[in-house]
Chains A and B, each alone.
Chain A
Amino acid sequence: MKNNILIIGGGPAGLEASAQLQRMGYNVILIEKDSVLGGHLAKWDRLFPDGVPADEVLSGLIHGTEGVKLFTETEIRAINRLEKSYNVRLTNGITVLSDAVLIASGFDLFNAVKKEEYGYGIYDRVITNADLEAYFKNGSDKRIDHPKRIGFVHCVGSRDEKSGCRSCSKVCCATAVKQAIEVKESFPDAEVFCFYMDLRLFGRHYEDLYLKAQKEYGVRFIRGRVAEVSENIDGSLVIKAEDTVASKPLKATMDLLVLMSGMRPSVSGKAVGDLLEMTVEEDGYFAVRSGIAAGQRSPLPGLFLAGAATGPKTLPETLADARAAAVEIDRYLTEIFPDARNYKQLVRERW
């Protein structure tokens, strides 16, 4: 018997998990609220650390999902747990009886407007990391006009209690270094500054990227958080920070300021979680059953989690998480689910 598995979210985690489960012979249904697949990956230009085009990675992921039943522009209208399975009503009118559900709802980018003092949406020359990727992808943005001095502000909406987000978003440091290199390639004459609190370049080859930015591109890294931005009459920006290494407050005029918006829990993902009364932790991300041992299992039997739905992750981490979730689902559907008589006991022992 082919079990039905519903996967919510057509980003990298959802795509990768669908592909794996499809290969294992399950009947996979993937739903995505947008009209296109890929989530944030579809909007990104190139990826750190080695600069592969996001399109390439994404098309590879989509390619693997052949045979998966795919519904785009579809959300969940209602979901309820039967004895073992989930009965899910979709907004396109279809009802799915699913033996396992995987939530891969991903993340939202922090809305930089909320960081009032940086003036995003107020000052013309303040953009976000996503805006810059869009510029790289589409080649135009009227806010970016041959900037001579470009500043990157790390940790916008991350590690900031005032934005309601204490945790590190993990990817922004590497993204900033990558983007700093890229703008330097686009505007070789420009001076580029990165204002950071701590540089967290933890992954393989990330440090190489940092080294490259320093050595080959002359990007200046300043340890200090930008805390105030004002605008000159010509539209250029005056930023204020402290160089905490030199122990001196500084100001600098910038032609372009790029805010590294961090990751926030997905709002539409939360809506799905509310339907299931799933627990979220203080940081707003879904709680997993056990952080180390059962990182893809939710507290509810048959309900799995993958990707940034359980906290910020890099793309490789997300893909690995999705594969792990696929294995977990397979284990559940072969070891626990079929045993109708002892189901409840097995859940108690092995979930």
Chain B
Amino acid sequence: MTPLYQFLAAQAEVPEVIDRIPSGYSHFVIPFTIGITFFLCWIGVGCVRLLAAIPRNDRIRFWKSLFIPKTIVKNLKDLFGDCLFHLKIWQRKPLLGYMHSAIAFGWFMIIVLGHIEVALFVPARLNVSRGGLFYPIFYRYFVWMNPGHTTLKGSFFFFLMDFFLLYILTGIGLAVFKRFRSIVLGMRHTTKPSLADRIALYSLWLIFPLRLLAESFTADLSGGSFLTVGVNHFWHFLFGDKLMFLPFWWAYSISLGLFFVAMPFSRYMHILTEVLWILLRNAGIKPHHPRKGVAEAEIYACSSCGLCLDACPMNVQKKNLKYSSVYFIRFLRRHNEKKINAIADKCLMCDKCHALCPVGVDAPALRRAQRITVNNSLPYDYSYLPSAVSAGQLSGPGRVHPRFAAAEYGLSPAADPAGAQKPEVLYFAGCMTHLTPRIIKAVEKVFKAAGVEYAFADREGGICCGRPLMLAGKTEAAAKVIEANKKMIEESGCTTLVLSCPICYKIFREEYHLEGIKVVHYTQFINDLIASGRLPVSKSDEKIVYHDPCELGRGCNVYFEPRAALDQVGTLVKAAKEYDESICCGGSLGSLTLDTRDRAKISESSLDNLLANSPETIVTACPLCLKTFSEAVSNSKHKYIRVTVKDFAEVICR
């Protein structure tokens, strides 16, 4: 049996176009029309509302950013890379990346190609204004045979449409498979879908198989390529010449309509919101509220893909999975204040979900914004701060360290007498470091060995850096602490500020704005000392694994220097997950409500991760990690009996 289109093509006189239903309308488009209309209204209102909630200055900045060439390039790069190709997922989980990009990019191409096809091949008399409104969507239904299709160009489009349909179908196939066996795609945990998610999900699963069915049933009338025509042959083989195609076009339209209606209430809203979020993000606008304005774009840009579930260090206990970012965002959408607060307070703020998020949703920042709404207004009284710091550390006998350092360590005091009072390097240990004296000892030993003349800002204890307050959402209080510390540091006259605590380092770098003072973490400072030859070190066979502290690695992007330095003193081995995938030690100050037992579980999983290549020594560069790991190792009794936990400086200066 010859398919109809081939028969037509074989005719000598072919009509220019055969319009089966010239009106360009059939009742089956109604479900789709309702769905898309509802959806577009929703989107339109949402966008206006969202932009209205952004502070005026930010809004102006946003519009301007759309015309800055550099931002335009970045926008295009991110829109294609993140929204369509999902490159961030590809990099970590190729199969999962393929799945996401197949659906996103495939669908995008089908829409684009569908429009091009219509524009190219549909005669002007049947264009949109003349009743061809549904042509680009249901082209294969409305059009019989167009001779243009039989040209090479036409076949080419037929082929492309079929190719991308197949591409999407493979993605859908993987998605269905993922529901049952997610681990194959590299995901240990997947999100629990809500009702709207389920409706949207199942309709999304149905859309493309139904499209294939619908198009294949009409393929002998309206044309097609390897896929649709092939399937069409099969139908003829099964059912003979009479094919009832209308039910499938109805089903296709209904699944589309259903999807668009469910979309605003489901995670699939991310498909379009992501675009807005990327534009806002690239314009550099930060959320000022956990739910309004930019935050709204951010929370609707979340695709609930669940990559943050595997990223979250709390996932060692199933009961704590519910505190992952994906659920935080879900409850933000639902305005469930009680749950929002519970989740916001539980988080360790290790930032791994942010680092691994395919769309760059900064959930920790949203959690912090939420904490601000609750905690920022709590009463406090810091009237003692100014006198505390001025009475402080850099004057009076026994406190000025440079002179003692000079005398004790046999260094020559600076030529300029004022210079002796104003050391180049100021070392600020921070609160926590005072509970891990071996860090202070080791840092001073390194300074001495390298002949660094320094002053010790808080030998007898100073005030807090402000980061813990920030993390707890008390930004106003944090500003007071920052102000006091800033004054002390500026008055010291130092040019380099060395910090051994990453928590301090992060806030000093980001919030202090110290003019003319270089703020460095001791891993960076010591690495420079080694590189410049000031600090002699000797290599050993000791197998070392380095733990990236959250605030230093993901927080400040310092990954290279500690490793470079450690490489000079021992043999670095890899952890199972490291760099931006490193697992929080469990001791983080970020969490407000996580209890000791839950933290211990996290410490254990973090240790297991570090011990993947059986190192002798775990090295970290944070007092909190050091203390947490030491306690976890000693409390585990037998499990970690062969490993010791050391501080970075301790290992450098043995």
Contact between A and B in the complex (any CB pair below 8 Å): yes
Residues on A lying within 8 angstroms of B by beta carbon are 111, 114, 116-117, 119, 122-123, 161-164, 228-233, 265, 267, 270, 284
Q: Does B155 contact A (CB under 8 A)?
A: no
| One of B430-438, B522-530, B542-550 contacting the partner | B430-438
- What are 6 A-B pairs at a CB distance below 8 A? A123-B437, A163-B631, A164-B631, A164-B634, A233-B398, A270-B638
- Interface residues in B452-467 (C-beta closer than 8 Å to A): 459-460
- Please give the distance in Å from B445's CB to the nearest CB on chain A: 11
Q: Which residue of A lies closest to B626 (CB)?
A: A116
B contacts with A, residue count (CB < 8 A): 20
How distant is the Cα of A111 from the Cα of B641 in the complex, in angstroms?
Answer: 13
Residue in A117, A161, A164, A232 whose beta carbon sits within 8 Å of that of B437 in the complex:
A117
Given A119-B437, A163-B635, A233-B404, 16 more A-B residue pairs with CB atoms under 8 Å apart are A116-B437, A116-B438, A116-B626, A116-B627, A117-B435, A119-B438, A122-B441, A163-B631, A164-B635, A230-B459, A231-B437, A232-B398, A267-B637, A267-B638, A270-B637, A270-B638
Residues of B within 8 A of A119 (CB): 437-438
Q: Known contacts A163-B631, A267-B638: does B436 contact A117 (CB below 8 Å)?
A: yes
How distant is the Cα of A265 from the Cα of B175 in the complex, in angstroms?
Answer: 52
Q: Known contacts A111-B634, A114-B630, A122-B441: does B408 contact A233 (CB below 8 Å)?
A: yes
Residues of B within 8 A of A164 (CB): 631, 634-635, 637
Interface centre among A111, A122, A228, A284 (most CB of B within 10 A): A122
Residues of B within 8 A of A111 (CB): 634
A116 lies within 8 A of B436 (CB): yes
Q: Which residue of A lies closest to B434 (CB)?
A: A228
A162 lies within 8 A of B631 (CB): yes
Q: Which residue of B lies closest to A126 (CB)?
A: B437
Q: Does B596 contact A (CB under 8 A)?
A: yes
How distant is the Cα of A228 from the Cα of B638 in the complex, in angstroms?
Answer: 28
- Please give the distance in Å from A226's CB to the nearest CB on chain B: 12
Residues of A within 8 A of B630 (CB): 114, 116
Q: Which residue of B lies closest to A231 (CB)?
A: B437
Residues of A within 8 A of B626 (CB): 116
Residues of B within 8 A of A114 (CB): 630-631, 634
How distant is the Cα of A270 from the Cα of B627 in the complex, in angstroms?
Answer: 26
How distant is the Cα of A246 from the Cα of B232 in the complex, in angstroms?
Answer: 92
Residues of A within 8 A of B637 (CB): 164, 265, 267, 270, 284
How distant is the Cα of A136 from the Cα of B437 in the complex, in angstroms?
Answer: 28
How distant is the Cα of A284 from the Cα of B459 in the complex, in angstroms?
Answer: 39
Residues of A within 8 A of B631 (CB): 114, 162-164
- Interface residues in B596-642 (C-beta closer than 8 Å to A): 596, 626-627, 630-631, 634-635, 637-638
Closest 7 CB pairs of A and B: A164-B635, A114-B634, A117-B435, A119-B437, A122-B438, A122-B437, A116-B436
A228 lies within 8 A of B435 (CB): yes
Q: Which residue of B lies closest to A165 (CB)?
A: B635
Residues of B within 8 A of A116 (CB): 435-438, 626-627, 630
- Interface residues in B533-572 (C-beta closer than 8 Å to A): none
How distant is the Cα of A164 from the Cα of B597 in the complex, in angstroms?
Answer: 11
How distant is the Cα of A161 from the Cα of B635 in the complex, in angstroms?
Answer: 9
Residues of A within 8 A of B437 (CB): 116-117, 119, 122-123, 229-231
Residues of B within 8 A of A284 (CB): 637
Residues of B within 8 A of A163 (CB): 631, 634-635
How distant is the Cα of A347 from the Cα of B408 in the complex, in angstroms?
Answer: 72
How distant is the Cα of A231 from the Cα of B436 in the complex, in angstroms?
Answer: 12
- Please give the distance in Å from B8's CB to the nearest CB on chain A: 82
Residues of B within 8 A of A161 (CB): 596
- Please give the distance in Å from B601's CB to the nearest CB on chain A: 14
Q: Which residue of B lies closest to A119 (CB)?
A: B437
Q: Which residue of B lies closest to A161 (CB)?
A: B596
How distant is the Cα of A162 from the Cα of B631 in the complex, in angstroms?
Answer: 7
Residues of B within 8 A of A270 (CB): 637-638
Residues of B within 8 A of A233 (CB): 398, 404, 408
Q: Which residue of A lies closest to B408 (CB)?
A: A233
Residues of B within 8 A of A230 (CB): 434, 437, 459-460
- Please give the distance in Å from B73's CB to the nearest CB on chain A: 50
How distant is the Cα of A116 from the Cα of B435 in the complex, in angstroms?
Answer: 7
How distant is the Cα of A162 from the Cα of B596 in the complex, in angstroms?
Answer: 9
- Please give the distance in Å from A264's CB to the nearest CB on chain B: 9
Residues of A within 8 A of B596 (CB): 161
- Please give the distance in Å from A241's CB to the nearest CB on chain B: 14
How distant is the Cα of A229 from the Cα of B438 in the complex, in angstroms?
Answer: 11
- Please give the distance in Å from B597's CB to the nearest CB on chain A: 10
Residues of A within 8 A of B441 (CB): 122
Residues of A within 8 A of B627 (CB): 116
Residues of B within 8 A of A123 (CB): 437
- Please give the distance in Å from A114's CB to the nearest CB on chain B: 4
How distant is the Cα of A162 from the Cα of B638 in the complex, in angstroms?
Answer: 17
Q: Which residue of B lies closest to A284 (CB)?
A: B637
Residues of B within 8 A of A265 (CB): 637
Residues of A within 8 A of B404 (CB): 233
- Please give the distance in Å from B31's CB to the nearest CB on chain A: 61
Residues of A within 8 A of B459 (CB): 230
Residues of A within 8 A of B408 (CB): 233
- Please give the distance in Å from B650's CB to the nearest CB on chain A: 10
- Please give the distance in Å from B141's CB to the nearest CB on chain A: 70
Q: Which residue of A lies closest to B407 (CB)?
A: A233
- Please give the distance in Å from B438's CB to the nearest CB on chain A: 5
How distant is the Cα of A122 from the Cα of B438 in the complex, in angstroms?
Answer: 6
- Interface residues in B38-71 (C-beta closer than 8 Å to A): none
- Interface residues in B477-491 (C-beta closer than 8 Å to A): none
How distant is the Cα of A270 from the Cα of B638 in the complex, in angstroms?
Answer: 9
Q: Mark B419-456, 1 if CB is under 8 A from A, else 0.
A: 00000000000000011111001000000000000000
Residues of B within 8 A of A162 (CB): 631
Residues of A within 8 A of B398 (CB): 232-233
- Please give the distance in Å from A151's CB to the nearest CB on chain B: 16
How distant is the Cα of A232 from the Cα of B630 in the complex, in angstroms?
Answer: 25
Residues of A within 8 A of B436 (CB): 116-117
Q: Which residue of A lies closest to B597 (CB)?
A: A161
How distant is the Cα of A128 from the Cα of B596 in the complex, in angstroms?
Answer: 28
How distant is the Cα of A265 from the Cα of B596 in the complex, in angstroms?
Answer: 22
- Please give the distance in Å from A86's CB to the nearest CB on chain B: 23
How distant is the Cα of A339 from the Cα of B486 in the complex, in angstroms?
Answer: 83
- Interface residues in B100-115 (C-beta closer than 8 Å to A): none
- Please give the distance in Å from A304's CB to the nearest CB on chain B: 23
Q: Which residue of A lies closest to B459 (CB)?
A: A230
Residues of A within 8 A of B635 (CB): 163-164
How distant is the Cα of A116 from the Cα of B625 in the complex, in angstroms?
Answer: 13
- Please give the distance in Å from B629's CB to the nearest CB on chain A: 11
